[in-house]
Amino acid sequence: MLNWLRRPKYSSLQRRDMPAGLWAKCPRCNNLIYRKELERNLKVCPKCGFHHRLTALERLEITLDQDSFEEIDAELTSTDPLKFEGYPQKLQEAKEKTGGAEAVITGEGTIDGYRTVIGVLDFHFMGGSMGSAVGEKVARASEQARDRQLPLVMFSASGGARMQEGALSLMQLAKTSAAVGRLHDAGFPYISVMCDPTTGGVTASFAFLGDVILAEPGALIGFAGRRVIEQTIRHKLPDDFQTAEFCLNKGLIDLVVTRSDMRSTVARLLSFFGAPRVEPVPVAAEPATPEPAQSRSGSSAADE
């Protein structure tokens, strides 16, 4: 009678048939994709176009000209000001997992020869959450852009403010907003790119303050979670609510850009805004043949 209990579990069968690391499963179309093919395709599913999440390092590699990146504030990291239980361990784990010191990497580089300050949030580092160090790095990147009379390009992927730093995290909303405001007042452009997901305190601050706001297809973009809003307003929300496409449709963002077009689109914008260009124009980084150096993240494209 209880025979069905002893049936082999589908998941364990699947795991045995699938050599670890060779294949990735697309969370949208459920197809198995050869991992090398997925990486060649900038981690976009060749079957359905789903944009898998990138680590900050992968993003920098496919966006910037080869060897053009000079990181700033590489060592800056959060302390544990509130003595929040388990926070130091979580930070340590995230550092080991990503190889970075914080949930954002900032620096200066060139995109198709155009000089820019760039920041990339890493969702693999504690959900890309913004604590005091992340806020500080974003603010300093913006200050550096202003000091050097360069544009600022920010790629966001974040669950929002970092709860382990409580109100100190919330203060980063004001700090980063003020910093990009000063850049704006000085007359230098700020391009914000929203990747999956851009939510909470990051949408409520610098991510939505770009002079031009781009997003990747299908990216989740919002402030509060869908369920919270549904319970509050007591209405069913549309299926595509809080997607990049929905935001575009409602006029919240300027453009949805596929990953393969992102680099050239940002370069075109930098050109339009008159960003300084270095000569000779550097060779473009080889688009996504990320060698296992990227395995600093240690995680598969589909596992988060």
Residues in the site for Zn ion, rule: CB under 5 A? 26, 28-29, 45, 47-48, 50
- The distance of closest approach from Cβ of residue 300 to Zn ion in the complex, given in angstroms and rounded to an integer, is 14
The candidate with the shortest Cα–Cα distance to 162, out of 192, 193, 199, 196, is 199
- The distance of closest approach from Cβ of residue 256 to Zn ion in the complex, given in angstroms and rounded to an integer, is 17
Task: Compare residues 48 and 82 and give the one whose CB is closer to Zn ion.
Answer: 48
- The distance of closest approach from Cβ of residue 30 to Zn ion in the complex, given in angstroms and rounded to an integer, is 7
Task: Compare residues 26 and 121 and give the one whose CB is closer to Zn ion.
Answer: 26
- The distance of closest approach from Cβ of residue 169 to Zn ion in the complex, given in angstroms and rounded to an integer, is 34
Task: Compare residues 28 and 40 and give the one whose CB is closer to Zn ion.
Answer: 28
- The distance of closest approach from Cβ of residue 164 to Zn ion in the complex, given in angstroms and rounded to an integer, is 34
What length does the chain have? 304
Task: Compare residues 36 and 47 and give the one whose CB is closer to Zn ion.
Answer: 47
Is the bond leading into 197 cis (omega within 30 degrees of zero)?
yes
- The distance of closest approach from Cβ of residue 48 to Zn ion in the complex, given in angstroms and rounded to an integer, is 3
Task: Compare residues 31 and 271 and give the one whose CB is closer to Zn ion.
Answer: 31
Task: Compare residues 139 and 244 and give the one whose CB is closer to Zn ion.
Answer: 244
